[in-house]
Structure 1
Amino acid sequence: MKPPQSPWQRTLVVLFIVQLLTAAGFSSIFPFLPFYVEDLGSSSGLSVEVLSGLVFSLQGVSMMIASPIWGSLADRYGRKVMIQRATIAGALTIAAMGLVQTAEQLIFVRILQGALTGVVSANSALLASVTPRERSGYAMGMLQVALGTGLAVGPVAGGVLADAFGYRPAFYVTAALLTIGALLVTFLVHEDFIPDAAKAGARAVARGWRLVLGRSGVLVTYLMRFMSRAGRMMIIPIAPFFIATLVSDSSLMNTYVGWAISLPALATTLSAGYFGRLGDRIGHRKVLVACMLAAGLLFLPQGQVNSVWQLLVLLALSGVAMGGVVPTISALLAHYTLPGEECATYGLDNSISAAGNAVAPAVGGLLAGLFGHPAAFTGTGLLLLAAAGIAAASLPHTAAHAVEPVAVIGD
């Protein structure tokens, strides 16, 4: 691996590590969170299904509300401090999840987590502010590689921990990883930030949002983010229960669910860097449409499998396709907006993702309740196919950049 040659490359390396640590930590609780809700029990008498949906959805609601505010505050106070805020708050709230005694307490802490964190958008905003526009696809692709790697490692590790030692240790491990991320940003990331007085105040914040939303292509790109995020989150609360119908050894249930989350994340990791560079060369719009179409087609048959291994293979293939969706949306936002709008842009972006997180679990649960578990997978496939059609019809074209690969990580 060659040493980074410029400040933006050095920043990318540090943020890559922070993204990896935080993604692994947050995702380590995903495989067993519905089972943890069941284990805690309810003090209000609500059903496990309702409480599991609230654990996922209300965290998304609070993040949806808070993210644009944090993004615009970053334009006033700096992007580095927003990463520090998100990682420290994440460590504290995740640790608290390991101490709760009822499902209702867990829901309350999850609401706090959504309101106070947002590491991914904070990382994206800082990186976008220092990266040359012609390298944006590569840089965002590498952040997606870190995110995907963390999502690949975290669920398996969390599932194994849960099967071996119970649910609570995974929360403490996550808190430790987020603390390490906060320390790395504090001591290794340097930001030459000059506050912009014109962006201070509620009116200025609202004006910044209006400017971003008024840029050509931004609204459609945000719609792509919402649809892709909602599609993926629609199956998360349902997958553990669907997998339970496919396996006979319940003692390894959390491990199987961990692999079901990890394999598509690993596949996304392996493909994201390639698709980011491809988008820099041929245009991110083309990559997004093709990968969204492929992902939709691969999700459709997943609810019809009769073994866990068939499901894992299809999930992995859909993960490859999603590696061309997530980073290209971030790169398109960088192309459609202007320098200086990064924090408002990616704060809104994180809010849109959170909206998908808030809506999708409830929709997936409703579909599964009305038509059975396979309906959630079918709904995801149809949603992504619709998104591909909208992207092809409505997204403006962007200029492609014929560039040589940059030696940052692994070259």
Structure 2
Amino acid sequence: MRIGMIIMVNWKKSVRILWLCNFMVTSGLTMIMPFLPLFLEQMGVHSHHSLSLWTGIIFSAAFLSGAIMSPIWGIFADKYGQRANLVRAGLGMGIITFLMAFAFSPLILLTLRFIVGFFSGFITVSFSYISRVTPKEQTGSALGILQTGGISGTIIGPLFGGALSDMFGFRPVFAITGICILLSLLLVIFVLEKDPVFKQTSENKASFKEVFKNPTLIMLFIATFIVQASILGTNSMMTLFVKSLVGHVGNIAFLSGLAASIAGIANIIGSPYLGKLGDRIGQAKTLPVVMFFCGLLVLPQMFSHNLTELYIWRFAQGLLLGGMWPAIQALIHKKTAKHIQGRAFGITSSSRFLGNLAGPLVAGWISGNISIIYVFAFSGIILILGSFLVKWKVKPERNPAAS
């Protein structure tokens, strides 16, 4: 337990380290993925229907393989700890993303995206690590701060990625992304301390059956799926939606990246406050409210007639976006016994990947067969419905600050 005590004393240092790691990883990933439709056009995919379909499939491929592997990595985390899990994720993601620079057909890119999913999950694992080493009364605040690292990366990434793509093309940006992820590993390996691993005994032997016997956890897994399906559904089609507003312009990648960055700036503003609010009154109270109003703010985006309107609604939604994922992670940590936390966060990661998979696929189908504006209707409605489910099934703690 001495390792655990050291980590508990230094949890603020761990937040700072993983904040920087998440910034590097997400800035790298968001340099290229929002502009996937433009990259596919360079590969010869031109019709709107085919472009929407290929974008949805390739965007989702990594999430399918990630959903398959996450429970296995959860078992790995229960045995070896989440720091080892971070090393595993960063190494695989960095190398394979670098290789995407050499993909010369949609099929090769699809294959590499599927393979990288077996090693992905760096951001989710970092949240699990911080949940494990932070005092419970500070969990929401710590996760809210950690969230801003990833969001800061989503601001910088699209702006730099859009500018670099417009100047040099898309392939060099894949290589830069892989290098950013590998560089973040140096901090994890040489600076981040090992998290405590709880010894398995005959009395507290971990099993997935124990995870699924908890109805609150099941509801939180469903909430994770809904949140990710909503967010990724709109994000995967944002470039095509921006293109429908401005037509064929030379800086379409930059304008699309700006839509993501504006929401990210608002997220950084709102996330720490929502994290502290959750610690004070309980995440079970804040989560359904944030989901409901976030869903309401998605709907007006479908009626945007120009980029100014779209950017205003994206900023308003971004103020609330950062309150959902930290609240879910904090609740899962509080509702889960320590010896099965790795498995619980493994299922959480699978739920997140499945949401990431379903969102772009549904959005691609809606965009290709109905109209791209109804992607926003889909995303908003499922968030609103999800808020009622969470309110119904997840009961507030009696004394949140001392839980």
1:8-407, aligned counterparts within 5 Å?
8-41=11-44, 47-191=50-194, 193-194=196-197, 196-198=199-201, 208-248=207-247, 250-402=249-401
How far apart are residue 228 of structure 1 and its match? Answer: 0.8
How far apart are residue 388 of structure 1 and its match? Answer: 1.1
Q: Quick one: distance in 1 between partners of 2:119 and 2:362?
A: 25
How far apart are residue 140 of structure 1 and its match? Answer: 1.3
Q: Is the 8 A contact 1:149 1:266 kept in 2?
A: yes
C-alpha RMSD of the superposition? 2.2
Q: Is the 8 A contact 2:129 2:195 kept in 1?
A: no
Q: Quick one: distance in 2 between partners of 1:205 and 1:91?
A: 36
1:208/1:286 CA distance change after superposition, 3 Å: same
Q: Quick one: distance in 1 between partners of 2:204 and 2:360?
A: 30
Q: Quick one: distance in 2 between partners of 1:247 and 1:150?
A: 26
Q: Is the 8 A contact 2:295 2:384 kept in 1?
A: yes
How far apart are residue 50 of structure 1 and its match? Answer: 2.4
How far apart are residue 208 of structure 1 and its match? Answer: 2.3
The aligned residue for residue 4 of structure 2 is: none
TM-score normalised by length of structure 1: 0.91
Q: Quick one: distance in 2 between partners of 1:205 and 1:312?
A: 51
Which segments of 5 or more consecutive residues in structure 1 lack a partner in the other structure? 404-411
> Secondary structure in 2 aligned to 1:398?
coil
Q: Quick one: distance in 2 between partners of 1:13 and 1:264?
A: 22
Comparing 9-18 with 182-191, which one deviates more in the overlay?
A: 9-18
How far apart are residue 8 of structure 1 and its match? Answer: 1.4
Q: Is the 8 A contact 1:151 1:266 kept in 2?
A: no
Q: Quick one: distance in 2 between partners of 1:163 and 1:355?
A: 32
Which segments of 5 or more consecutive residues in structure 2 lack a partner in the other structure? 1-6
Comparing 214-223 with 295-304, which one deviates more in the overlay?
A: 214-223
Q: Quick one: distance in 1 between partners of 2:308 and 2:283?
A: 33
1:7/1:340 CA distance change after superposition, 3 Å: farther
The aligned residue for residue 3 of structure 2 is: none
The percentage of aligned residue pairs carrying the same residue is 27
Structure 1 residue runs of 4+, over 6 Å off?
Answer: none
> Secondary structure in 2 aligned to 1:116?
coil
Q: Is the 8 A contact 1:128 1:342 kept in 2?
A: no
Q: Quick one: distance in 1 between partners of 2:161 and 2:205?
A: 40
How far apart are residue 302 of structure 1 and its match? Answer: 0.7
Q: Is the 8 A contact 1:218 1:336 kept in 2?
A: yes
Aligned residues: 393
Q: Match of 1:94, as an amino acid? A: T
How far apart are residue 225 of structure 1 and its match? Answer: 0.8
Q: Is the 8 A contact 2:75 2:343 kept in 1?
A: yes
Q: Quick one: distance in 2 between partners of 1:167 and 1:346?
A: 34
Q: Is the 8 A contact 2:133 2:195 kept in 1?
A: no
> Secondary structure in 2 aligned to 1:341?
helix
Q: Is the 8 A contact 2:32 2:174 kept in 1?
A: yes
Q: Is the 8 A contact 1:216 1:336 kept in 2?
A: no
Q: Quick one: distance in 2 between partners of 1:214 and 1:139?
A: 28
Structure richer in helix, relative to its length: 2
How far apart are residue 192 of structure 1 and its match? Answer: 5.3
1:236/1:206 CA distance change after superposition, 3 Å: farther
How far apart are residue 240 of structure 1 and its match? Answer: 1.1
1:192/1:91 CA distance change after superposition, 3 Å: closer
1:349/1:25 CA distance change after superposition, 3 Å: same
CA deviations on 1:198-232 (whole Å, 9 max, x unpaired) are: 59xxxx99952221222241111111111111011
Q: Quick one: distance in 2 between partners of 1:205 and 1:309?
A: 56
How far apart are residue 121 of structure 1 and its match? Answer: 2.0
Q: Quick one: distance in 2 between partners of 1:84 and 1:401?
A: 33
CA deviations on 1:148-206 (whole Å, 9 max, x unpaired) are: 1111211111111111111112112211211111001110012154473559xxxx999
Q: Quick one: distance in 1 between partners of 2:372 and 2:347?
A: 32
> Secondary structure in 1 aligned to 2:368?
helix
Q: Quick one: distance in 2 between partners of 1:149 and 1:279?
A: 21
Q: Match of 2:105, as an amino acid? A: T
How far apart are residue 47 of structure 1 and its match? Answer: 3.1
1:322/1:400 CA distance change after superposition, 3 Å: farther
1:302/1:398 CA distance change after superposition, 3 Å: same
How far apart are residue 78 of structure 1 and its match? Answer: 2.3
1:91/1:115 CA distance change after superposition, 3 Å: same
1:25/1:264 CA distance change after superposition, 3 Å: same
> Secondary structure in 2 aligned to 1:11?
helix
Q: Match of 1:132, as an amino acid? A: P
TM-score normalised by length of structure 2: 0.92
Q: Quick one: distance in 2 between partners of 1:217 and 1:313?
A: 35
CA deviations on 1:29-79 (whole Å, 9 max, x unpaired) are: 12211211221237xxx9333221210122111111111111211111222
Q: Match of 1:95, as an amino acid? A: F
Q: Match of 1:373, as an amino acid? A: I
> Secondary structure in 1 aligned to 2:384?
helix
